[in-house]
Amino acid sequence: MGSFKTKLLVCLLLSLNAVAQQKPYTTLFRYVERFNRQDSEYVKNLIDNRNAYNWLAENVPVLECPDSVIEKTYYYRWWTFRKHLKQTPDGYIFTEFITPVKHAGRYNALSCAFGHHVYEGRWLRDTQYINQYIRYWFIKDAQQPAPRFHQFSSWAEDAVYNRFLVDGDSSFIISLLQNMDADYRLWKKEKGVGEGFWQFDVKDGMEESISGSRKEKNIRPTINSYMYGNASAIAKIAAMAGNDTLKQQYDKEAETLKSFISQLWDDKAHFYKVKLAKGPLSDAREELGFIPWYFNIPADKATYAKAWEQLVDTSGFNAPWGITTAERRHPAFRSHGSGGCEWDGAIWPFATTQTLKGLANLLTNYQHHIDPAVYYKALHTYANSHQKNGIPYLGEYQDERTGYWLKGDDPRSSYYNHSGFCDLVISDLIGLKPNTGNTIELNPLIPAGKWDWFLLDKVPYHGHLLTIRWDKTGRKYKKGKGLYIFADDKQIYHGDQLKHVITKL
């Protein structure tokens, strides 16, 4: 019997390998087959597991790299992302929870991670999914008797503008300008305080934090940084539309917010902090203090860059399983124990994504920064955290010492679409930096000597499909040594080194 089972297994593997060889993307096929076999698929939305490979092959950039943990997680995240794609009477949307939750709106939609969804989904080749999702929140939701877009703070306009930098569709983004202006003005009416904004921690999606409160109107680096990003994005879109008045209005708004955010900097702690409703800054460093770099807000000075030393400090935010949401030295670290959503120190992928994007900006846009190898190590740790009982998994939040997912086996927590990963690999680790011009910029954060090869293929960019191939020795792909960039299979760049490159498209 054992021999029969062995022969059957061998035949099955040979069969799968034969099928894989016929597929255009062998690596993708093998990962999808593995994830499908490990999955109970207790919820099916628009694209079920049976159709997952075909949809992913048609839509996502293909990655091959020597880091098996990052590669596996890259495909796992795309595989889970499509699980959340739903077709509704109001168009396509991406959900956050795989099962219905009480605090969601129509179609189980939630706006909390909208920015992450759009940054991630901007790399899909079929633009209709993200287009309709964007229009759902800016237009369809606003038409409802009780809109839900402002249920949570959001960097929505910033995300939509950065999506435009990938697809280059100016007509789509300009068509939303009035909606964005109305959205921003509504935020000012609801949460404006002086020249900035206040927010409850729960409405930042960060409840049970050390500094926050479900009832205190604290001035937080989160919403103020988000609104800076949103104002900057609206100003750029207004310029594209030829609306000089609106451009000047939002340029001024952004500058005012940048000055306001400087009040949240604690010179002694070298960190951005929450300003409590009662007056002083919080005594806790929290991961949200890294968010200003997500939008390139801080000045390029050594005193600000010093904040990032906390990222590698084991008394700060450095834990075995990732980046904690509060400094580990604080007396209130992991003290709440509410059984709900504790942001008092546990690891949250939502915040990890923001911190890694901020760190990538520090390393690429600033002269004062820390060792670039820190980024790779942090991203690898983040990738490795996507597991439970040895099987790929993505949940809500984790114990920083053991990696245990603190919602246990709650079905709602599986495939939790509340963060990003693939965009971090494409735009930050490999370093494809979208822009408005007719150029391609590559600014990789892969440490020198770490990867001898990688391939990123079928990447949508400004109406073209890019291929980025690095083969240090030429032995991996046997198509020449060095770094190659192709647009629609036409070579547009070749160099010997993996380095910062700007070339014409």
- Angle formed by the axes of helices 349-365 and 373-384, nearest 10°: 160
Q: Tell me, what's the pLDDT at 20? A: 42
Residues of the chain above pLDDT 70, percent: 95
pTM given for the model: 0.94
Local structure of 60: helix, strand or coil: coil
Both tokens of 8, joined, read 């059957």
pLDDT per residue as tens digits for the range 274-327? 999 989 999 999 999 999 999 999 999 999 999 999 999 999 999 999 999 999
Q: What string of DSSP letters covers 173-239?
A: HHTTHHHHHHHHHHHHHHHEETTEE-B-GGGGT--S-SS--SS--BB-HHHHHHHHHHHHHHHHHHH
d(CA 94, CA 107): 10
Q: Tell me, what's the pLDDT at 23? A: 53
Cβ–Cβ under 8 Å, residues 111 and 417: no
Return the CA Rg of the chain: 22
pLDDT per residue as tens digits for the range 441-481? 999 999 999 999 999 999 999 999 999 999 999 999 999 99
- Which of 14-18, 61-65, 412-416 has the lowest average pLDDT? 14-18
Q: What number of H helices and E strands is found in the chain?
A: 16, 18
Across the strands, what pairs with 495?
483
pLDDT-derived band of residue 22, with 50, 70 and 90 as boundaries?
very low
Closest CA to 395 of 380, 415, 411: 415
Place of tokens 């205190």: 216
Q: Tell me, what's the pLDDT at 278? A: 87
pLDDT-derived band of residue 21, with 50, 70 and 90 as boundaries?
very low
Cβ–Cβ under 8 Å, residues 444 and 430: yes
pLDDT per residue as tens digits for the range 95-133? 999 999 999 999 999 999 999 999 999 999 999 999 999
Both tokens of 154, joined, read 């959001």
d(CA 170, CA 373): 36
